[in-house]
Structure 1
Amino acid sequence: MDQLETPDRRHQPRNLCSELVEVVFEDQQGNTVSTVALVEDLSDQGLCVSSSLPVSPGRIVRIRAEGLESRGVVRYCELGEYSYLWGLELASGWRGEWQPHHELALDRSEEEPT
């Protein structure tokens, strides 16, 4: 896996997304856990997914979807309104040819001061 050093998330362009992915990881007892998560947003460095399960930061995960298979590290896990939100940092070039069916690029020009 490439070196994983991500700049502050707020400084990275992120696209909104609504795509189901499979996330596989080992729990603290060494059992393999597979769960379906919803991609909330994505950037060149990784994903934010929503899951019914909590996961410890630092845990290595595998992400799978049609046209996507990658590995990454959980950077944070926090309880949102309805689920746990995981910040996943993935190796550079993680996205490859993957094109989610539901992705929305935000108009960044509205965010820039004039």
Structure 2
Amino acid sequence: MSSPDNDHRSLDDITRRLTQALQILDLEVDYPLLLGLAADTSRAVGPDAGPISTFLVGYAAGMTSTSGTQAATDAVERAVGVARQATEKTGDGGVEDGWAHTAQ
């Protein structure tokens, strides 16, 4: 069984490898924010929805014209907020129609 320290170290290692390979060296990854979104979306929709939601958040943030680390962080946080709203569960087990007013 892995410890939280090992999990965090593994996330740091893969993040460093991927940011170097993808040439996005100044990116700070907010693990709790993205993992929380993935967990929430998976609970609301199903296990495959978590990775899809985080990919789409990254894509939306990347489409935002940004310059600098703070602008990128803000773009990710905005995209996560929209994704959370769009995947909220209703009381009847379905996904709420919360996405209608989320155009960025």
Band of TM-score, shorter chain: under 0.3
Higher-RCO chain (CA-CA 8 Å, sequence separation at least 6): 1
What is the TM-score with the length of structure 2 in the denominator? 0.25
Larger Rg: 2
Of Structure 1 and Structure 2, which has the larger fraction of its residues in helix?
Answer: 2
Bigger strand share: 1
